[in-house]
Amino acid sequence: MNAYDHFRHWAATLLEHQRAKDGAEVYQFSTISALLEGIYDGDVTVAEILRHGDFGLGTFNHLDGEMVIVDGVCYRLRPDGTATRAAQNDRSPFAAVTRFHADFEIDIESRTGQADVLGAIDREIESANLIYAIRVTGQFADLHTRTVMEQHPPYPPLTEATEGQAETRFTDVTGVLVGFRTPQFQQGISVAGYHLHFLNSDRTAGGHVLDFTLQRGKAAVSGASQLHLSLPTSGAFLDARLSGDNLSEQIGKAEGGGRRDEDRG
């Protein structure tokens, strides 16, 4: 091992020790309330997002596809259910990423519906007041997804944009669910409860999860105690009204049932 390799190893070890000391972090760009108000253009690139994590989700400018980040690669999920690798200079109005590390895993050995899979996770987490990255891999008996169509200015609010969403049903498919379980008090900043996207094993198809039945697989959970929120400093965000009284209702409608509001501890 040469001097450069020694330095890289030392730096990587130092960073890992610092992360362990400080606690894992979720790095988020903008807020879900901004999307609700129709702020669909952002300046952050895929390259910048990936500098802050190897696992996460989001969307692209103009709502042109759902975003999935898994194993350090970013994918764009289209309304027809297909998935392609995103370009490094593609931009996003909203994304959340972390560096995934499995704190615990749950084996699912028989046919299990979404509510029971998420309930099993709820029973194992340390606290409903922390953030958890969720990765569920396996064979899905069936899986229902949606993807919002690309929007054009003047942008409608998210609740209207999702009325024209395209839905896809997968059966007997292998793949991964990628997302987060977020505390209720973060509603409006993030999506409280579960927010999950799907990507198949071939990395060619996926979407925003509405419902699923897992035939067999494994749920891995990565906890985080820190949230780094990066807000836009220009554009429509600066003048937007982001403190609506019915955020939970709006988010529930926009998410289309692909989450759970209740927190279990």
Q: Would you state the pLDDT for residue 17?
A: 45
Distance between CA atoms of 31 and 103, rounded to whole angstroms? 26
15 has pLDDT over 60? no
pLDDT greater at residue 44 or residue 8: 44
For 17-31, what is the mean pLDDT?
76
Q: What residue spans define the domains of the chain?
A: 21-255
Specify the fold of 21-255. Answer: 60s Ribosomal Protein L30; Chain: A; (3.30.1330)
Kindly state the tokens that stand for 93. Answer: 């109005």
CB 231, CB 237: distance < 8 Å:
yes
For 171-200, what is the mean pLDDT?
97
Q: Would you state the pLDDT for residue 223?
A: 98
For 13-31, what is the mean pLDDT?
71
Give 21's contacts (C-beta < 8 A, 6+ positions apart): none
261: left (phi over 0), alpha (psi -120 to 50) or beta: alpha
For 36-54, what is the mean pLDDT?
97
For 229-247, what is the mean pLDDT?
87
Q: Would you state the pLDDT for residue 248?
A: 83
Distance between CA atoms of 221 and 121, rounded to whole angstroms? 8
Give the model confidence (pLDDT) of 74-118 as tens digits. 999 999 999 999 999 999 999 999 999 999 999 999 999 999 999
Q: pLDDT exceeding 90 applies to what percent of the chain? A: 80
Distance between CA atoms of 181 and 118, rounded to whole angstroms? 9
Q: Angle at CA 243, nearest 5°, toward 242 and 244? A: 105
Q: Would you state the pLDDT for residue 201?
A: 98
